[in-house]
Amino acid sequence: MDAMQHVNNATYLRWFENVRFLYFELVGLNALHRAERIGAILARTEVDFLAPVTFPDDLLVTARVVRIGNTSLVMQHRVWSSSTSRICAKAEAIVVVVDYAHEARPTTIWEPIRAAIRALDGDVEA
């Protein structure tokens, strides 16, 4: 809570980061980073704040991939409030897959990662 008695806007970015990290764990991107030093880096994010979140509340923060490019992903995030039964914020994040062993240069998203994303999110725009 901030001085205005609601969750500060910067906190949403941390929530989105946490859910992205879990998503990357589920699709094998974190394991790929540990094994091959190929992983994700946030390139851009845009957030629309739709309603304030105040204490107490239970929130659901989600992430899903809506587009897979050659070296990047577009992810969609939502924050859902159980006390108001509405979406409080929505965001879009562009994540680039990079080879940390080679100056963090963008690299092609491996097919097993693509397959895991499609298994989790269904048909994803290419």
Instruction: Kindly state the tokens that stand for 83.
Output: 């006390």
Which pTM was predicted? Answer: 0.91
The confidence score (pLDDT) of residue 5 equals 62
- CA dist 99 and 122 (Å) reads 26
The residue type of 21 is F
Q: What confidence tens digit (pLDDT) does each residue in 35-89 have?
A: 999 999 999 999 999 998 887 889 999 999 999 999 999 999 999 999 999 999 9
Query: Which one, of 93, 72, 89, 71, lies nearest residue 80 by Cα?
Result: 89
Q: What confidence tens digit (pLDDT) does each residue in 99-108 have?
A: 999 999 999 9
Query: Which one, of 35, 20, 32, lies nearest residue 115 by Cα?
Result: 32
Architecture in CATH for domain 9-121: Roll (3.10)
The confidence score (pLDDT) of residue 4 equals 53
Close Cβ partners of 112 (under 8 Å, ≥ 6 residues apart): 28
Domain ranges across the chain: 9-121
Q: What is the mean pLDDT of the chain?
A: 93
Close Cβ partners of 69 (under 8 Å, ≥ 6 residues apart): 109, 126
